[in-house]
Amino acid sequence: MKMILRPMLLLLFTIMSCLSCNNEELFIEFVAEIVEEPETPQEDNTNEDTDAEIDFALPCNFDLNTVQTGDIIVINCIMDLEGQSINLPPNVNLVYEGGDIINGTINVSDNTVISGELLNASLIIGGSTPQMKDTTFNFDPKRWGIVEGKVTNEVALSNRNILQNMIDQTKSMGIETFFIDKMDAYFHFDYGWYDSKGYNDMAIHLPSNFHLKMSDKTHLRLQPNHW
């Protein structure tokens, strides 16, 4: 009897151990770890939206009559002077940002700086000679009244005078490089019976220390003539 009882007790203990392990496994709690992904910072498009809203063709909501010494004036609109003459105080900086100043005269004082993009045929710069913001000037033939293609002698002569005047004017403002990109225009000269000095005077002249830069789209043509 004792010999039978011992194996039975051993078997019972083994069964209870298995049941105990199973119960423990049944009550294991699985804790899920929640990982929060870092928020992606949103791009600040405030400046882009502001730039997109600017319409450079709108008239300016300010004028130059209230400009004071040392002011920096940003031109991002159309300022029509309507034939007026504006006198600027010294040390004024006129900065181009897509706009234009047209139809009038600006008399500048000493130490005035102006962006070359603001210069055009309808704007007269008087008073002291201003300095250009950059030493390179991009010549846009349409802004200065150059007529491209086949033209009359009178128009071709006007083309010559416009180009010479702009070379002289920008040189006096500190320009070192005068760049002409796309242009196809005829130039005429006031022909006649001249001596060597007369022929020299009617030519287009480049000043010293001055770079006339052109591209493969630049065509300066001599007006056909009987000479």
Beta strands in the chain, from DSSP E residues, in sequence order:
72-75, 78-80, 85-87, 93-96, 100-102, 104-108, 113-114, 123-127, 131-132, 136-139, 177-180, 183-187, 211-214, 218-222
The per-residue DSSP string of 156-200 comes to HHHHHHHHHHHHHHHHHTT--EEEE-SEEEEE----SS--HHHHH
User: pLDDT digits over 99-108, tens only?
Assistant: 999 999 999 9
pLDDT: is 55 or 42 the higher one?
55
Copy the structure tokens of residue 194.
Answer: 């001249």
Q: Where are the domains of the chain?
A: 54-133, 134-227
pLDDT: is 32 or 80 the higher one?
80
pTM: 0.72
User: Shortest CA distance to 181 belongs to which of 148, 157, 205?
Assistant: 148
